[in-house]
A and B are shown apart, each in its own frame.
Chain A
Amino acid sequence: MENSLIELKNCGVIRNNKWLVRGISLKVNQGQIVTLIGPNGSGKSTTAKMALGILKPDEGSNTIKSNIKISYVPQKISIDWSLPLRVIDFMNLIEKFTTSEIEEALSLTGIKNLIFSDVRNLSGGEFQRLLMARAIAKNPDFLVLDEPVQGVDYPGEIALYKTIQEIVKNINCGILLISHNLHVVMSQTDHVICLNGHVCCSGAPKSIVKEPEYIKLFGKNIDPTLAFYQHEHDHQHLPDGSVDQSN
């Protein structure tokens, strides 16, 4: 396809005579959300790194469309205490933005008030929102989110996923999302790829619960109703915990 942003063809990574992942093929098109799910150590991050071009596959090929702007939200960043770094400095890490651009991105993820805080004083969830804000501010063509909601509380998680959906709508970028949260996968994504060293199964979100390989991996005990549970809150919480009065 012509509008495919990245494409992995039968990719594999071998380390110390062990294949971390093998036979991975995937494609992310413009305006599409592709979700990678799988247990710990199943090679989700490795696959993401191949899609980003950080890691060269030892077999197969990774093609990244030329001249596209890539944003990356890595799984974990630990910042050394010796480095004095405020939120605004982190926002400008790779590309320099104007203060109003930064404020806009930070308010999208709900942490505008923290713009001058030291990065290490942020909680896990706040830091995650910062990573997201920086990725959004770049206006990317291709966005890779490696477990973007880890450490974010449940209402915050939903809010972040809504933000992700809005981003796709607004800037029409392709997203590769890594998650272990089935519920959210179901409700947001176009295409799911279930990974465990290789592609176990893939398909549109609704079909995946029927695949036997998938059931073998996670067991039969996943409650399908839980996966489809619809929250019907009569109010919403703002990131700081207060109730949103706007509606």
Chain B
Amino acid sequence: MFDDFLFRAFVAGIGLAIITGPLGCFIVWRRLSYFGDTLAHSALLGVLIAYALSFNIILSVFVISGIISLSLLYLQKKTYLPNDALLGLLAHSVLAIGLVLLGLLTFIRIDLMGLLFGDILSVNFQDILIIWIGGAFVLLLLIKLWRPLFAGTVNSDLAKAEGLNPELANSIFTILIAAVIAISIKIVGILLITGLLILPASASRNLSSTPIQMVIIASIVGLISVVLGLFSSITWNTATGPTILSVALGIFVLTLFPWKKLLISKKEIRLINK
């Protein structure tokens, strides 16, 4: 069964969608969209190091993104610069280092398109193992961290005053984002990872009225996007990552329609007719 590349692609994609849902919600709530982008930019460096040392790509990207996340936390405390400046600083300097390295390491030939946009159809059994085991680990940690992380998202002082440790939760959460970005690089690529985190969560926001609802719906939207996106990309022979995101965008647009209002007004009309 795992011999079929399509089957592997589905298993990998579904695993990913389940984790990006809850994580994406926290990214939206905490206004960390550009943080995801910064980590994604650093992924090029991670991939290059993996090739140079013939090391596992996912692990290497995770280590580099982890270092970048911790540097950000450090710079936030050490400098007076605003977050967006720090994120830009990190994103582009790491990207630059990656590109310089790419020029130096002439013996490496990498599939740049695959790196940028993902190549889910080349997912192998080892990748699936990493996605599901890594993903389960991320999800478990997120459930464990939920209370301090969520309370800290609402109000950090309040959480701290009442005995939680939102700062520790925040640091671990940052590492979790790095992990998920590393896991998802093969599937959606560097350029589109943030989209996979943010689009399902945003679509879900339009439909939900409680935090838990938003997390669950985000995972479902991600799941539908991955499944429909994969089918479409095979049918029309389009790049997989962009196709998955296009489906997610389609769902987001659908959620913009005032469904609730439409239903209510129909009811009202019926009442009036009676």
Q: Please provide the chain A residues from 43 to 94 with a CB less than 8 Å away from any CB of chain B in the complex.
A: 49, 52-54, 70-72, 74, 77, 79-80, 82-86, 89-90, 93-94
Interface pair A77/B153, CB less than 8 Å apart: no
The answer for the CA separation of A82 and B32 in the assembled complex, in Å, is: 12
1/0 per residue B192-228: CB within 8 Å of A? Answer: 0000000000000100111101100000000000000
A71 is contacted by which of B160, B162, B214 (Cβ under 8 Å)?
B162
A72 is contacted by which of B31, B147, B157 (Cβ under 8 Å)?
B157
Interface pair B155/A77, CB less than 8 Å apart: yes
The answer for the CA separation of A70 and B157 in the assembled complex, in Å, is: 12
Interface pair B158/A83, CB less than 8 Å apart: no
Taking CB atoms, residues of chain B closer than 8 Å to A49 are: 157, 161
Main secondary structure on B side of the interface with A: helix
Taking A94-B158, A94-B162 as contacts, is the C-beta distance between A84 and B214 under 8 angstroms? yes
Q: A213 on the interface (CB 8 Å rule)?
A: no
The answer for the CA separation of A145 and B110 in the assembled complex, in Å, is: 60
Q: How large is the interface on A (under 10, 10 to 19, 20 to 34, 35 or more residues)?
A: 20 to 34
Taking A82-B29, A83-B29, A83-B154 as contacts, is the C-beta distance between A89 and B210 under 8 angstroms? yes
Q: B102 on the interface (CB 8 Å rule)?
A: no
The answer for the CA separation of A70 and B209 in the assembled complex, in Å, is: 29
Taking CB atoms, residues of chain B closer than 8 Å to A70 are: 161-163
Q: B159 on the interface (CB 8 Å rule)?
A: yes
Closest A residue to B31 by beta carbon equals A80
Q: A144 on the interface (CB 8 Å rule)?
A: yes
Q: A118 on the interface (CB 8 Å rule)?
A: yes
Interface pair B209/A74, CB less than 8 Å apart: no
Residue from A71, A72, A84, A85 whose CB has the most chain B CB atoms within 10 Å: A84
Taking CB atoms, residues of chain A closer than 8 Å to B151 are: 93-94
Interface pair B28/A85, CB less than 8 Å apart: no
Interface pair A86/B160, CB less than 8 Å apart: no
The answer for the CA separation of A118 and B31 in the assembled complex, in Å, is: 20
The answer for the CA separation of A52 and B157 in the assembled complex, in Å, is: 9
Interface pair A79/B162, CB less than 8 Å apart: no
Q: B150 on the interface (CB 8 Å rule)?
A: yes
The answer for the CA separation of A52 and B162 in the assembled complex, in Å, is: 8
Interface pair B209/A84, CB less than 8 Å apart: yes
B211 is contacted by which of A83, A94, A138 (Cβ under 8 Å)?
A83
With both chains docked as a complex, state the minimum distance between the C-beta of B36 and any C-beta of chain A, in angstroms. Answer: 15
Interface pair A85/B211, CB less than 8 Å apart: yes
Q: B75 on the interface (CB 8 Å rule)?
A: no
Main secondary structure on A side of the interface with B: loop
Taking A84-B205, A84-B213 as contacts, is the C-beta distance between A72 and B29 under 8 angstroms? no
Taking CB atoms, residues of chain A closer than 8 Å to B209 are: 84, 86, 118
Taking CB atoms, residues of chain B closer than 8 Å to A95 are: 162
The answer for the CA separation of A70 and B29 in the assembled complex, in Å, is: 26
Q: B164 on the interface (CB 8 Å rule)?
A: yes
The answer for the CA separation of A80 and B160 in the assembled complex, in Å, is: 19
Taking CB atoms, residues of chain B closer than 8 Å to A83 are: 29, 153-154, 211
Interface pair B211/A54, CB less than 8 Å apart: no
Interface pair B28/A82, CB less than 8 Å apart: yes
Closest A residue to B201 by beta carbon equals A82
1/0 per residue A92-136: CB within 8 Å of B? Answer: 011100000000000000000000001000000000000000000
Taking A77-B154, A85-B210 as contacts, is the C-beta distance between A54 and B29 under 8 angstroms? no
The answer for the CA separation of A93 and B155 in the assembled complex, in Å, is: 10
Taking CB atoms, residues of chain A closer than 8 Å to B155 are: 74, 77
The answer for the CA separation of A74 and B151 in the assembled complex, in Å, is: 13
With both chains docked as a complex, state the minimum distance between the C-beta of A17 and any C-beta of chain B, in angstroms. Answer: 14
Interface pair B159/A89, CB less than 8 Å apart: no
With both chains docked as a complex, state the minimum distance between the C-beta of A223 and any C-beta of chain B, in angstroms. Answer: 36
A74 is contacted by which of B28, B153, B158 (Cβ under 8 Å)?
B158
The 10 A-B pairs with the shortest beta carbon distances in the complex, nearest first, are A72-B161, A52-B161, A94-B162, A54-B160, A83-B29, A82-B28, A77-B155, A84-B209, A93-B151, A84-B208
User: Can you list 24 residue pairs at the A/B interface with Cβ under 8 Å?
Assistant: A52-B161, A54-B160, A54-B161, A70-B162, A70-B163, A71-B162, A72-B157, A77-B158, A79-B154, A80-B29, A80-B31, A82-B29, A83-B153, A83-B211, A84-B210, A84-B213, A86-B210, A89-B211, A93-B150, A93-B159, A94-B147, A94-B158, A94-B163, A138-B162
Q: Other than the known A83-B153, A86-B210, what 5 A-B pairs have Cβ atoms closer than 8 Å?
A: A54-B161, A84-B214, A86-B209, A93-B154, A95-B162
Q: Using CB atoms and an 8 Å cutoff, list the residues of chain A in contact with chain B.
A: 49, 52-54, 70-72, 74, 77, 79-80, 82-86, 89-90, 93-95, 118, 138, 144
